[in-house]
Amino acid sequence: MTEKFFIKGGTPLRGEVTIGGAKNSVLKLMAAALLAKGETKIYNVPDLTDVEIMLNVIAQLGAKTSYNKSEKSLTIDASDLTNITAKYELVSKMRASFIVLGALVSRCKEAIVALPGGCAIGERRVDFHIRGLEALGAKIKIENGYVHAKAARLAGADIYLDIPSVGATENLMLAGVLAEGSTRIQNAAQEPEIVDLANFLNAMGADVNGAGTSEIVINGVKQEDLHPIEYTTIPDRIEAGTFMTAIIATRGKAIIKEVYPAHLTFFTDKLLKMGANIKLIEPNSLEVSCKNKLNSINFITQPYPGFPTDLQSMAMTLLTTANGVGIITESLYENRFMQVPELRRMGADIHQDRNHAIIKGVKKLSGATLAASDLRAGASLVVAALMAEGNSVIEKLHHIDRGYENFETKIRLLGGKIERKDDTAPNLTEDIHNESYL
């Protein structure tokens, strides 16, 4: 059974939408919960396939887990870890699960974690993780597709990252929590999810300073200093940015609730320059609207606080019907323009030259049958279908389900014409042509 989105474009999104917990944060908090013996409870946890995979990873290590869907809460009892191996069958499904390496080395002084392998959007190397752990005193052996890390003791060290890798920063933060002495990570990633992880660790009894800046210092504590906690995950800035884009793309007007506006400053600035209207109406609520045709802009994706690569595809969708010509430079991943062929099928005028995309605005996009290639590209196609003239079908929804909880439900609450149906639905082909599916 294959599920697909059926979308009728052209309806302005109006109303209110509430943003869920940050996927890219909660996955790392789940790994961090392994450091403390006892039962930790995390709130504002989205019901996503990536969360389910991470639950399976940490359960495989011996932690007891339970997820309350109605409460959006997750309980992790890491009193006894009975296994130090994270198998390929699970790690290969989601690269973020590689983060258990730092937690296991920190607490158990040994870990065997599968190399995560390739990624659709481009290479994500783990050598920064490995070199950092070696600097802390771990002996690393890579064989048969697994990283085997072992350390009689971990000792603090100064570690410089060649690039501000989010994953490496997080893995080394977890490893440094129980290392003897101080660990200093220079050229550290500064994303809000890094700050959330640091706040979580500090609430647990760790001593982490400087998160959100380019230098993070972790003063090691003892195992008995750590204790289980209750903690609420920050809102998902990428989900918020996606809905901002969808509202603007459809010339709608809506309120986005449970968002931290400071996490989207650079993105919001670009949207304002394009001609969108964005107002802060409450500390955690934005009113987003757009009446007129947008103007093209140029931008380069950069590590936080620069333009987020995870929102590049959404911005490209807006540029497809904007006045003039816009240029996007993708500086972080070599295959992050995978939405381009699909947008062209809708009538977009996009020329791609390696990591540059030149988008000449057209009058309108037209509905088409499309396939999601990865999480963010898939979401951008949903936005494109909502703004297009006519009907669209989007396939390979498993990519989108990794990072958006109840995506179609939230869109429908805003008035968007979207349905999820599977291949067994009657008259599926006929429905898309006669519009009776909506």
State the chain's mean pLDDT as an integer: 94
Closest CA to 100 of 56, 165, 37, 145: 56
pLDDT for residue 424: 67
pLDDT for residue 122: 45
Q: pTM for the full model?
A: 0.94
pLDDT for residue 94: 87
What whole-number percentage of the chain has pLDDT above 70?
94
**CATH code given to domain 23-223:** 3.65.10.10
pLDDT for residue 427: 47
Q: Which residues of the chain form CATH 3.65.10.10?
A: 3-20+235-434, 23-223
pLDDT for residue 121: 43
Q: What is the mean pLDDT of residues 240-267?
A: 98
Hey, which residues does 285 pair with through a beta bridge? 257, 282
Hey, which residues does 7 pair with through a beta bridge? 392, 418
Q: Which residues, other chains included, contact 117 with Cβ-Cβ below 8 Å and sequence gap of 6+?
A: 92, 95
Contact, 393 vs 226, CB < 8 A?
A: no
Ramachandran category for residue 97: left, alpha or beta (phi over 0 → left; psi -120 to 50 → alpha): alpha
Active site residues: 119
Checking if the pLDDT of 325 tops 90, the result is: yes
What whole-number percentage of the chain has pLDDT above 90?
88
Q: What is the mean pLDDT of residues 24-49?
A: 97
Ranking 52-56, 61-65, 88-92 by mean pLDDT, the lowest is 88-92
Ranking 116-120, 277-281, 326-330 by mean pLDDT, the lowest is 116-120
Fold category of 3-20+235-434 in CATH: UDP-n-acetylglucosamine1-carboxyvinyl-transferase; Chain (3.65.10)
Ramachandran category for residue 239: left, alpha or beta (phi over 0 → left; psi -120 to 50 → alpha): alpha
d(CA 393, CA 420): 10
Q: What is the mean pLDDT of residues 138-142?
A: 95
